[in-house]
Structures are given as C-alpha cells and as structure tokens.
Amino acid sequence: MSTTLPHAPLPADRAEAAEAFEDYKPPLSPGHAVVEANRCLYCEDAPCTIACPTHIDIPTFIRKIATGNIRGSAKTIFSSNILGMSCARVCPVEVLCVGDCVYNHLDQPPIQIGKLQRYATDVAFAEGWRFFEAGAPTGRSVGLVGAGPASLACAHELRRLGHACTIYEKRDVVGGLNSTGVAPYKMRADRSLEEVEWVLGIGGIEVKTGVELGRDLSFEALEAQHDAVFLGFGLGPDSWLEAAGSELSGVEGAVEFIEGMKLGTPDVSEVRRAVVIGGGNTALDAVRELVRMGIASVTMVYRGTEERMSGYAHEWKAGKLEDVKALWQRQPVGFEGEGRVTGVRCVKLGQDRQPIAGSEEVVPADLVLLAIGQGKLGELVSGLDGVTVERGRVVVGPDGATGRPGVFAGGDCANGGKEVVNAVAEGKAAAQAIHRSLGGN
C-alpha cells in the first residue's frame, strides 16, 4: 500500500505567511523549556491529564523534557494524541490542561503545558522521529469521510491495528480546519500539511481528494467498498444572516474569509473599518486576524453581553489588548451600501433581548464578516436506516457508534463544533470501537 497526499500546493504569498501572523505564543528556548519542566510538580492522577480530552500523560512528558529524554517525551505525547504538534498550538489550554494545573491554587503561575508540548513535538518533527508502525494486515478496510483531525486520528489508530484506510476529502487541501480554519498566529497551513504528511507516514492510508460524499461517492458505494465507515466531515458553510443588503459585496462568511486568508491573500487594501458579527470563537479569531492584517478599525458586534459571550474569555482579553472594539447587545437588521457594503444597521437589545425602539444606528464598515455559526452536514446521512441526525449533528454513543452497524462518526459533525483535541479523542475512540466491531480485541 502506498501513501498518497495529492493536496494542492499552498501559495507562498498567502496572507498567513506574512510577518503579521507570527506566533502569539512564541516557542520556548531549550533552556527555558528545562526550567519550566523542572517547575512541574509531577502530580499523580494529574488534573491536567484528566482535563485533556486525549488524556496525554502530561507530567510524564514534562519530566522527560527535564531529564533530557526529548524523544521519549514526544513519544509519550503522540502515544495519546497523534496530532500533538498542532494541539500544542491550537488547544485552548487556558480552559483545559493549564486551567486545571494545581499551581492555579498556589501563588505561582501554572505550568506552560502547551508550550512544553510544542517544544517536544517541534524537536520530534525537526529530527524526523517516527514512533509507530502499522499493525499486521487484517485484510479489513475502513472508509473515512473528511481529512480533518477526527479522520486522521481515527485512521492512524486503525493503521496501528492493521486495518487499511481510505480517506475521502471533498477539498483539494487536507488537514481540515488546522489547514483552513485555525487562526494563523496559532497554526499555519504549511505546518498543518507537514503534520498530515507525518501522520500518513505510518503508511497504508490512501487519501482521495476532490471526492465529496453524495456528489462523487454515494453512501451505498462507500459502505459497499469498506468493512466500516467513519464520518468525520465536520461542519458546513457559514450560516447566513438573511437581512436587507446581505448580498452586497464585502459581506462574507467568517469561516470562508479565514480559509481564503490561510490558503491565499484576500485583498483588504481598501478596507478601513471591519465589523465581525458574532461572539463565539470564530468571531474572536476573525477580529484578531483582521487587526493583524492591518485594518485600522475592527469591531465585534454581538447580540449578547460581554459576560455571556460564548468565545473564550482569554481570547477576548487578548483581542481587547490588540485594540479590538465591541458593541454588545446589538442586533444587525440590515446592511447599507450600493454594490459594496458601507455599514451595518443595528438595533440595541434590552435586558429582555428585545429590540429597543428607536435605537437603530449604522455602524460604518467596508468589510462585514458573519461569524454566527456554521451549517451542519448531518443531512448527508440523515436518510439512512439506523443513523439519527439531531439538529444537523450525527448522533453517536461514547465510542462514536451510530445506530447503523459499521458506521461511526466523530469530530465536529458529531459534536457540533468543538476543539481539534476533541476531534482527535473522538476519532481515536471510534477507531478502537471499529476495531472491536471488526472482531479485534
């Protein structure tokens, strides 16, 4: 079996390659890594490990940095999380491992777990270390839909167990949101593609790009060709705000805009004032990215309050420091402009979340990004016997099983949109369940 990765090359002049998107959490030097690693209390039954969805043995990998066993440190990380390199960059550690570090209960800062994980995994990539081999061939094959973190983690685990894998990806670019959606100051598309190639290095994972479920490949054909199926197709396009003027040029979906920036160079030379509508993490990524692209005025417009926004508080704090403005309790009701958008018409919402009469105002904007959610793709499989789709999500049990024998799912299409690390955990758990369903132990 051969490994093929027919992804489209990235343009060298894509926006995220510019200096504006340098790391916002810069790497640790070797000396700093050792000092930080030696601060770790090496907790037993450690809260950080419990908080990690993939349950990386964090105290152990940190101790191995302290003793100079970097190879072993990386192995510990990748044994639990094969996408440990990207998770080190993109995980919201503040609300996961670092948030639960016991130092938070002491008068000292918590261990910089993400940065230490990045240190060990970066060394592993730089040294070209590989840790895992494919299991003895079982003669079984699994088809995986979507080439994002869930499918990659699932496929890698399945290969360790000896099952052949084929990943079907509708885009030209593999890696899912790591390549197309994660803020570039956390993870650049080229690092994501490097990671995908490293994961596929285990061999025996065929990747077919440009193949879309329901368009180029029927579910029946997929099931017929494989002994089991894993659905990891993520979320759909940006949800659209149906309001007057939303067809104007300059009104775009945030996810689509971010993808354009990671894979190319959107022209923002004429943009002076940008507005992002929404209060979730996509909105927060978008406002911080727009600031880095040099747009003078960036404003987040959210119908809720600062306290109730769904985006991470630590990200919003960083955004504020970068001079992002916010208008809280505002409901967009239309877009101004002729041909090109010039502003967003908003009304103020009261404590009862109802519009306040006479509060209408126009927020000037020559670029408006909609970050109000993404469509769910559950309808791709909603007609199948045994598969339940609720509000667009594929319903699964704890090990990723749907109600249809041999069909499993994980990642955003099942969890509705969580972190990369959740997708990895779900993909890995599903691989174990698939293995059992194929008669393995």
Partner 1 sequence: MADLTTNCGGIVSPNPFWLASAPPANSGDQVMRAFDHGWGGAVWKTLGTPIQNVSSRFGGLHYKGTKAIGFNNIELITDRPIETNLKEIAEVKRRYPKHAVIVSLMVETRDEWQDLIKRSIDAGADGLELNFGCPHGMCERGMGSAVGQEPRINERITSWAVEFSTVPVLVKLTPNVSDIVPHGMAAQRGGAHGVSLINTIKSIIGVDIDRMVLEPRVRGLSTNGGYCGAAVKPIALHMTAGLARHPDFNIPISGIGGIASWRDAVEFLLLGASSVQVCTEVMLRGYRVVEDMIEGLSNYMDSHGMKTLDDIVGRAVPSYSEWGELDLNYETIARIDPETCIGCYDCVVACQDGAHQCIYPGDNGARVPRIDESECVGCNLCQIVCPVPGCIEMVEVENGYPPATWNQHVATGAALRPKKGAH
Using CB under 8 A as the binding rule, whether residue 303 contacts partner 1 is answered as no
User: Judged by CB under 8 A, does residue 42 bind partner 1?
Assistant: yes
> String of b and e for 236-254 (b: at least 16 CB within 10 Å)?
bebbebeeebeebebbbbb
Question: Interface with partner 1 includes 71 (CB under 8 A)?
Answer: yes
CB of 123 to partner 1, least distance (A): 13
Bridge partners of residue 390, in order along the sequence: 393
The stretch near partner 1 (CB under 8 A) out of 67-75, 135-143, 278-286, 429-437 is 67-75
Residue 92's φ and ψ, nearest 5 degrees, are -80, 75
Choose one: 56-64, 284-292, 419-427, 428-436; the region binding partner 1 (CB under 8 A). 56-64
Instruction: Provide the β-strand partners of residue 169.
Output: 209
Q: How far is the CB of 27 from partner 1 (least distance, A)?
A: 15
Q: Decide if residue 79 touches partner 1 (CB under 8 A).
A: no
Calpha distance 101→80 (Å, rounded): 19
Tokens of 196: 């995908």
If one asks whether residue 440 binds partner 1 (CB under 8 A), the answer comes out as: no
CA torsion through residues 20, 21, 25, 29, sign: negative
Closest C-alpha among 346, 337, 341 to residue 369:
341
Does 68 bind partner 1 (CB under 8 A)? Our answer is yes
Q: Contact, 347 vs 333, CB < 8 A?
A: yes
- Segment interacting with partner 1, rule: CB under 8 A, options 30-38, 145-153, 282-290, 386-394: 30-38
Torsion angle, CA of 277/282/284/286, rounded to 10 degrees? -80
Can you name the residues that pair with 326 across neighbouring β-strands? 300
Quick one: which of 3, 69, 141, 246 contacts partner 1 (CB under 8 A)? Answer: 69
In angstroms, what is the minimal distance from the CB of 67 to partner 1?
4
Residue 277: name the closest of 323, 311, 312, 317 by CA. Answer: 311
- Exactly one of 12, 19, 26, 44 binds partner 1 (CB under 8 A); that residue is 44
H-type alpha helices, 143-302: 149-160, 177-180, 189-200, 219-225, 254-263, 281-292
Nearer to partner 1, 68 or 397 (CB): 68
Candidates 203, 195, 148; CA nearest to 176 is 148
From 1, 11, 23, 30, residue interacting with partner 1 (rule: CB under 8 A): 30
Instruction: Say how many residues touch partner 1, by CB under 8 A.
Output: 15
> Is residue 47 within the footprint of partner 1 (CB under 8 A)?
no
Piece of the chain touching partner 1 by CB under 8 A; list 48-56, 69-77, 298-306, 414-422: 69-77
109 lies in the binding site for partner 1 (CB under 8 A): no
CA distance 37 to 54: 21
**Of 3, 25, 27, 60, which lies in the binding site for partner 1, with binding defined by CB under 8 A?**
60
Place of tokens 């192995």: 75
From the list 65-73, 120-128, 278-286, 358-366, the region that binds partner 1 by CB under 8 A is 65-73
Q: Does 107 bind partner 1 (CB under 8 A)?
A: no
Binding flag, residue 130, partner 1 (CB under 8 A): no
Of the candidates 142, 149, 206, 202, the residue with the CA atom closest to the CA atom of residue 434: 142
7 binds partner 1 (CB under 8 A): no
Q: Contact between 6 and partner 1 (CB under 8 A)?
A: no
Q: Contact residues for partner 1 (CB under 8 A)? A: 30-31, 38, 42, 44, 60, 63-64, 66-69, 71-72, 75
